[in-house]
A and B are shown apart, each in its own frame.
Chain A
């Protein structure tokens, strides 16, 4: 069993998508998709429909952004994608088949294929575990416990250099000794070691300043280009989404009001909500119209 997973990961590693920013992903096999996915929260008499009949198709190797303001339901949707919440109705499909995470074992198997990076890097790590252990765990989790110490060390250095960190400087340190940007990069190093099929990044740059943000975004792009991972990027910043993604889903009040290729959605928006969202963002070449405040 262990050998099997190992082989599987190896074939995955060989897939590379290169750096073509205009690749058409619709012909790639489906990785994660959903049909009429709905989640309703009920608290006494108040019923909140957080996610309302959304359908989506995420293809293999695609970098998808889900953009919405606070309260649009993007976090609820991401929890459902991760399998932390069950949809009230509707179905999520994994590799084209209905996703079954009814038992603990099935859940664990699903989680081998999906990993997440969260907003707050400071609370993403166990403060009692040293950085070496964090990375070592990833190698063990991939069923490579039997590798020699040197091989494991080489893999960990590799992962760190992928995110521009020096492994030699990190050994024997704890995560809280790093800055927010470095922690988030360490998180990406983890993902690089685990090589999941899907990565869900929930606002990974919102707590980091603009300069380190560019680094993190480029690393996510490289990660996708090198490993062919499907990346689901959840953000409220439409500028980031435009830079990084192949396709964009715009979410308002639990519904997708617009979806399509990044170029189309941003440069020729159709939904009035998308237009408003774009006009609300300060820009460099176009004037920022403050009179339309509503």
Chain B
């Protein structure tokens, strides 16, 4: 069995609003990723995907607060560490994070090479300028990025190149886990492809040992990651391999998501999109029963009172529903027959 790179046990984090209300946007999340594997996280806006990404770094700043649970990176528990320690010993070297608008994060008054120096300095590594430069040049060449980019300012680069530079800079210390939050959503399709190719190459070369990829674009997840996890209202509702999740989703919510896939392939035009009605619950006052019951077509009266637990039902597959897998499959089959 491959080594576990990231193991998260019952992680709970909350936002404290100005009205002093607690909003648990990551609620008892457990997940693990093995070496060389990638995990995709899908879900609607506001379901807690980005908060989970922030929480996984172990570096919290208000209004986000750590509540309970463990984050274990390659056998080392980083939860509850002092923020300063996390910044120096965890961020960048153990876990790297690429936020949503990463390409706008580059300071326009500094050359790209300077950002790499910053990373090395922040980690207090014993390297001089020349060594850093050599390392940067090697890494850029390895990733297929032109080396002269190091002497350019961010404004001289295109969006796709800026995004690739950010990824290259943030992974310069070979992190064990790379968290990418919508790394390609602001790019057009050809730049997106380049970014994805670079990330896949980094995985293949072992520069990054494992990856978490967050996006709501399901065709992209299907093509990039090994596993897909669907989140709803701060909780995991289903997990499985990419193929299983796209072709055989069990949870009514994932099924709704998979039904909204649009790709330029034969047959897409004839598909009737079945959107999920309603909006996600307000997490200030989460429903006492199953969180999806309000919007679920198959919900019974009991669903509104009984919270659903997450259950392993197959190898590597989990779901969170009050109905049994067999029952759900039966319902879906009879629906398909009738349509």
Contact = CB atoms under 8 A, between A and B. Distances in A.
B193 A283 contact: no
B216 A211 contact: yes
B190 A282 contact: no
A243 B262 contact: yes
Given A209-B216, A210-B218, A210-B260, A236 B265 contact: no
Contacts of A164: 277
Contacts, number: 113
A262 interface: yes
A237 B220 CA distance: 13
Interface in A215-256: 215, 217-218, 236-243
Interface stretch (B51-59, B130-138, B267-275, B309-317): B267-275
Interface string B236-247: 000000000010
- Chain A to chain B: the 8 pairs with minimum beta-carbon distance, closest first: A214-B260, A215-B275, A214-B273, A280-B189, A69-B188, A282-B223, A239-B262, A282-B219
Nearest to A70: B188
A113 B33 CA distance: 55
Given A280-B189, A282-B223, A288-B223, A242 B264 contact: yes
Interface string B167-207: 00000000000000000000011101110110010000000
Contact of A293 (B194, B222, B261): B194
A183 B193 CA distance: 31
A236 B189 contact: yes
Interface in A274-294: 276-278, 280-286, 288, 290, 293-294
B279 to A, nearest CB: 6
Given A180-B45, A242-B264, A290 B190 contact: no
A283 B263 contact: yes
Contacts of A285: 263, 265
B192 to A, nearest CB: 7
A277 B217 contact: no
B: interface residue count bin: 35 or more
Interface in B265-296: 265-266, 268-271, 273-277, 279
Contact of A179 (B190, B223, B279): B279
Interface of A: 21, 69-70, 164, 179-180, 182, 208-215, 217-218, 236-243, 262-263, 266-267, 276-278, 280-286, 288, 290, 293-294
A284 B263 contact: yes
B193 A211 contact: no
Main secondary structure of the interface of A (DSSP, over half): helix
B275 A210 contact: no
A294 B260 CA distance: 30
A209 B263 contact: no
B321 to A, nearest CB: 18
A276 B190 contact: yes
A290 to B, nearest CB: 5
Nearest to B273: A214
Interface string B292-328: 0000000000000000000000000000000000000
B68 interface: no
A213 B219 CA distance: 14
Contacts of A290: 193, 196-197, 200
Contacts of B189: 69, 236, 238, 277, 280-281
